[in-house]
Amino acid sequence: MTGGHEATAHVHAALRREASLARLLLDAARLLGETLEPQRVYERFREILADAVRYDGLIVSSYEPSDHSIRCDYAWADGQTLDASTFPPLQLNTEGGMQSQVIRTGRPFLTNDVAGHVAGPGVYYDTDGSGKLRKVPDEGPTDAQAALMIPVKHEGVVVGVVQLMTDHGAYTGDDLDLVEGLVGQMAAAVRNARLHEERARAEAREAAAQAVAAEREEAVRVLAAVGDAVVFVAEDGTIRYRNPAAAELGADDLDWQAIGARIGAPAGTRATLPVDVNGRELWLSFVAVRTTDGVVYAFRDVTQDRELDSAKSDFIATVSHELRTPMTSVLGAAMTLLRDDIDLAPEQRQELLEMIARQAQRLAHVTEEVLLANSLDRGEIHVERAEVDVDRVVRDAVQIQLPGAELQLRAATATADRDRLQQVLLNLLENATKYGGQHVLVTSEDRGDMVRIAVTDDGPGLAPGEQQRVFEKFFRADPQMVHSPPGTGLGLYICKELVERMGGRIGVDSHPGRGATFWFELPR
Ligand code: ADP
């Protein structure tokens, strides 16, 4: 029965071994599955191996079937993890080589005579804990005696090899079975870790892309909201981006290469240039910023600022002229009156005094106009809204300013400010006298819910380009005052402001050379 006992003991031993193998594999699966970093998986794999089999060297390589290259992913020798990237990649050996044979056949390989094998065809490296590679056998004999080589497979295809080497003793078939089982676990864990890394990278890429998109969207929103026009012009002069303000300023029709040349390129350059925008000359103020593949221009329309500037200098010229002329007369007349070395006849004295009064009035008028225009600008002028007998106000104004004018009055009452209405009329009548010809006609009539009053003269009239501009502040058709009678360029501006504040509108119709009709309407 001894044999029976022996058999039972044998079975027991086998069962125990099976059980501990199963336990080892189970533990390995759990431990390897815990980490999501390939390098850590390899480390754990090596630690688990250490409990199961003896080894002095361990190499995990991957095989790339598309170019038959073999790369080292993990290397450990004589108690040290080595830098796998220092191992040169190998080409699959089509005839010999232990590793290549495993890849070619897909079957594991066990040898207890390494020295005998490396003497054959193939490239062999030996390493020790120093991390230094030695080509075997050219650079000395290998220390390894026995080796286990297990293919790593994915869906039936060899994607790598695990090599285990020991300097002492031999490997058995049981060792091979055990290591094969662990390699399967390790390969699954590495694959899982790689997938995880890839997903994490994809997520990071996605997040980065989203951040860039959000930033770009934000920039576009900001650019759409800013008042300044912004365009991004590529090297070839084409517009890559423009905001709504730029579109409004006609950016699409501008010759950006020409503009770039006029501004001159260095980054941060500023320039204000007259630019033809759809047949209209605009003064645009540019800031140009060079980027790697083009130029960003921020620009705005400063035409009005420039017009205002030139109007202001016109105004200063006009007002100083308007003040100096009467002042000179007043001064001259007063000096003459004060002289005691000449006797003045009473009529002469009277004449000089009248001149002083007249010129002083003119001075007061200019000052008043300037002050009133200023008050209008500041919104300090209050306008009454009362029922006004329009025809009566017209008759009174004509009586004061231009008794010779012809009247055709057929208006009802309007809602207006009596004094302001008179002021407007006096101004239009004064202009008709100053700039008009011989004959002036004043009409009034009802037009729907408005009352329309018009002053028509037979003077030289206004060129079409001037008809809108005469209502601008300081505008004078002849700013150099070569031919025009005195004036500040404020009269019609004041008229327009007053009429609009009374809820009406003002305009002019004129054919140059055939007089002008200045008209305004007030609500009834
Ligand atoms: P001012 O008379 O003080 O110059 P206004 O604002 O009243 O200022 O007039 C502005 C300009 O409009 C004048 O300088 C003149 O060139 C032009 N203008 C005004 N009225 C007439 C008119 N009836 N006919 C022709 N031009 C006129």
Instruction: Single out the residue of 373, 411, 353 nearest to residue 493, CA to CA.
Output: 373
Average pLDDT of every residue of the chain: 86
Protein residue with its CA nearest to atom 13 in ligand 1: 476
Strand 124-127 relative to strand 109-111, pairing: unpaired
Q: Are 336 and 345 contacting, i.e. CB atoms less than 8 angstroms apart? A: no
Q: Please name the amino acid found at residue 67.
A: D
Name the more confident of 506 and 365: 506
pLDDT on residue 324: 86
Protein residue with its CA nearest to atom 20 in ligand 1: 431
Protein residue with its CA nearest to atom 14 in ligand 1: 476
pLDDT in tens, 352-408: 999 999 999 889 988 898 889 889 888 888 899 999 999 999 999 999 999 999 999
Strand 406-410 relative to strand 440-447, pairing: parallel
* CA of 421 relative to ligand 1 center, distance in Å: 18
256-276 burial, b at 16+ Cβ within 10 Å, e below that, comes to: beebbeebeeeeebeeeeebe
pLDDT in tens, 180-216: 989 988 988 888 888 888 999 999 999 999 998 888 8
Does position 264 have pLDDT exceeding 80, yes or no? no
Name the more confident of 476 and 193: 193
Phi, psi of 378 (to 5 degrees): -85, 0
By the 10 Å C-beta count (0-12 exposed, 13-18 middle, 19+ buried), 442 is classed as: buried
Q: What DSSP assignment string belongs to 385-445?
A: -EEEEHHHHHHHHHHHH-TT-EEEEE--EEEE-HHHHHHHHHHHHHHHHHHS-S-EEEEEE
Name the more confident of 103 and 4: 103
299-334 burial, b at 16+ Cβ within 10 Å, e below that, comes to: bbbebeeeeeeebeebbeebbeebbebbeebbeebe
DSSP structure class, residue 86: G
Q: Tell me how long the chain is.
A: 524
* CA of 466 relative to ligand 1 center, distance in Å: 10
pLDDT on residue 52: 84
What is the enclosing helix (H) or strand (E) of 308? helix 303-338
pLDDT on residue 316: 80
C-alpha dihedral sign at 369, 375, 378, 384:
negative
Q: Are 377 and 472 contacting, i.e. CB atoms less than 8 angstroms apart? A: no
- Residue 425 beta carbon below 6 angstroms from any ligand 1 atom: no
User: For tokens 């000395």, what's the residue?
Assistant: 140
Instruction: Single out the residue of 47, 38, 40, 57 nearest to residue 99, CA to CA.
Output: 57
pLDDT on residue 515: 92
* CA of 371 relative to ligand 1 center, distance in Å: 19
pLDDT in tens, 422-434: 999 999 999 999 8
pLDDT on residue 201: 92
How far is residue 112's CA from residue 41's CA, in Å, rounded to a whole number? 28
Protein residue with its CA nearest to atom 3 in ligand 1: 487
Q: Are 69 and 63 contacting, i.e. CB atoms less than 8 angstroms apart? A: yes
- Residue 75 beta carbon below 6 angstroms from any ligand 1 atom: no
Nearest-atom number in ligand 1 for the CA of 487 is 3
Three-state DSSP at 255 gives: coil
Calculate mean pLDDT across residues 508-517. Answer: 92
Q: Are 475 and 489 contacting, i.e. CB atoms less than 8 angstroms apart? A: yes
- Residue 436 beta carbon below 6 angstroms from any ligand 1 atom: yes
How far is residue 384's CA from residue 501's CA, in Å, rounded to a whole number? 9
- Residue 431 beta carbon below 6 angstroms from any ligand 1 atom: yes
Q: Are 326 and 363 contacting, i.e. CB atoms less than 8 angstroms apart? A: yes
The 3-class SS string of 169-204 reads CCCCHHHHHHHHHHHHHHHHHHHHHHHHHHHHHHHH
- Residue 492 beta carbon below 6 angstroms from any ligand 1 atom: yes
Does position 482 have pLDDT exceeding 80, yes or no? no
How far is residue 18's CA from residue 414's CA, in Å, rounded to a whole number? 115
How far is residue 375's CA from residue 490's CA, in Å, rounded to a whole number? 12
Phi, psi of 285 (to 5 degrees): -105, 120
By the 10 Å C-beta count (0-12 exposed, 13-18 middle, 19+ buried), 499 is classed as: buried
Question: How many other C-beta atoms lie within 10 A of the C-beta of residue 359?
Answer: 19
pLDDT-based confidence at 128, cuts 50/70/90?
low
Q: Which residues pair with 422 in a beta bridge?
A: none
Q: Which residues pair with 157 in a beta bridge?
A: 154
Q: Residues near 454 by Cβ (< 8 Å), separated by ≥ 6?
A: 441, 442, 443, 444, 517, 518, 519, 520
Name the more confident of 499 and 278: 499
- Residue 319 beta carbon below 6 angstroms from any ligand 1 atom: no
Three-state DSSP at 344 gives: coil
pLDDT in tens, 156-167: 899 999 999 998
Angle subtended at Cα 329 by Cα 326 and Cα 333, rounded to the nearest 5 degrees: 140
- Residue 370 beta carbon below 6 angstroms from any ligand 1 atom: no
* CA of 453 relative to ligand 1 center, distance in Å: 18
Protein residue with its CA nearest to atom 11 in ligand 1: 476
Protein residue with its CA nearest to atom 23 in ligand 1: 432
Radius of gyration, alpha carbons of the chain: 51
Question: How many other C-beta atoms lie within 10 A of the C-beta of residue 120?
Answer: 11
User: For tokens 């017209």, what's the residue?
Assistant: 394
pLDDT in tens, 75-119: 998 888 988 888 888 888 888 788 888 999 999 999 998 877 776
pLDDT on residue 479: 55
* CA of 459 relative to ligand 1 center, distance in Å: 11
